[in-house]
Amino acid sequence: MQAPTLRDVYSAKKTIAPYLSRTPLQHSPGLSSKLGAEVYLKHDEHLPLGAFKARGGINLLAHLSQEERDRGVITASTGNHGQSISQACRIFGARAFIVLPQGANPLKVAALRSLGAEVIFHGDNFDEARAHCERLALEEAYRYVHPANEPLLIAGVATQTLEVIEDLPGVEVIFMPLGGGSSAAGACLVAKAIDPDIQMVAVQSEEAQGGYLTWQQGSAVEAPMTTFAEGLATKVGYQLPQTILRRYLDDFVLVSDDEIRYAIGALIEEAHTLAEGAGAAALAGALRRPDLVRGKKVSITVSGANTTLPQLLEAVKVYQNGS
């Protein structure tokens, strides 16, 4: 399994362009003042699915053979990745099967069904859903799409960082959330190929440390997973993203779930921006580690906005108590 290259990312940019518009990178005076830095937000929550994952699904489905599309495509997801694959399957005429854990975000489930996917529920968490998905792929001969160990997915989502560097010359630090790791790995590939001095910082919840521990220890580590932020909710780091992250990632910040909730509130009040838990994690990391951004030109990724009303109300409560 080969990691994608910068050339692959530029190719993905051309593949995606007819289907997805470039997302804005906007200066935030409020967050700049709060962090003592020149802060810009990369608004991938503006994509039609409300999340960055749409980039990867289109790039992958565009490169599948007709035979693979005809067999049907199956993947496991907590929501946003599944929406990406479902949307791409609809565009390219393939059947989509999405395996979700019980209790998945109901807004994301509804969106999956509206995109024409067949939704299958299994297990209490993402990793149990993924194991069931892999069994179904073998039994039914579907084309299985791993949520992170797919070079075409990584190249697709890496176009986000290509846009950041093109739109913000001289960017010094990029903060991004980490769940399965495809986005953070793609970001590192692009940034370090273009300017090795850009500091790349990943952020994950303390209540789902599998990715962090795998990166830290250099081998797969499974950790308890209790975070509310479903986009970060993986128990273990995955091989291909972790191989890239161990080579290129400069720093890794763990934050509490309440720090993520606080960041959701800060995005609303300081930047008029709605984010889900994973979408606010990068800002939570910058708020936890202001020493990494102070006095610098910084891009903070808002990866998605598919939150539920109860999650949003709880975040506002935490923010009000912490302000």
Q: Domains of the chain by range and CATH?
A: 6-52+152-322 (3.40.50.1100), 54-149 (3.40.50.1100)
> CA torsion 223→76→144→5, rounded to 10°?
-70
Identity at 134, one-letter amino acid code: E
The 10s digit of each residue's pLDDT in 89-148 is: 999 999 999 999 998 888 889 999 999 999 999 999 888 999 999 999 999 999 999 999
Contact 133, 75 (CB under 8 A): yes
Give the mean model confidence (pLDDT) for residues 60-86.
94
By three-state DSSP, how is residue 308 classified?
A: coil
Catalytic residue among 11, 32, 182, 303: 303
Sign of CA dihedral 176, 171, 173, 186: positive
- Respond yes or no: is residue 108 known to be catalytic: no
Name, in order, each residue with C-beta under 8 angstroms of 128's C-beta and a sequence gap of 6 or more. 101, 122
Catalytic annotation, pick one of 34, 42, 53, 235 = 53
Grade residue 162 by pLDDT with cuts at 50, 70 and 90.
Answer: very high
Residue 235 designated active-site: no
Q: Rounded CA gap, 237 and 161, in Å?
A: 21
Ramachandran angles phi, psi of 195, nearest 5°: -150, 100
Q: For the segment 235-272, what is each residue's pLDDT rounded down to a tens digit?
A: 889 999 999 999 999 999 999 999 999 999 999 999 99
Asked whether the whole model's pTM tops 0.75, one would answer: yes
Distance CA(183)–CA(153), nearest Å, equals 9
Residue type, 297: K
Q: Which residues contact 272 (CB under 8 A, 6 or more apart)?
A: none
DSSP state of 46: G
Q: How many CB atoms lie within 10 A of CB 106?
A: 10
- List the beta bridge partners of residue 74: 97, 144
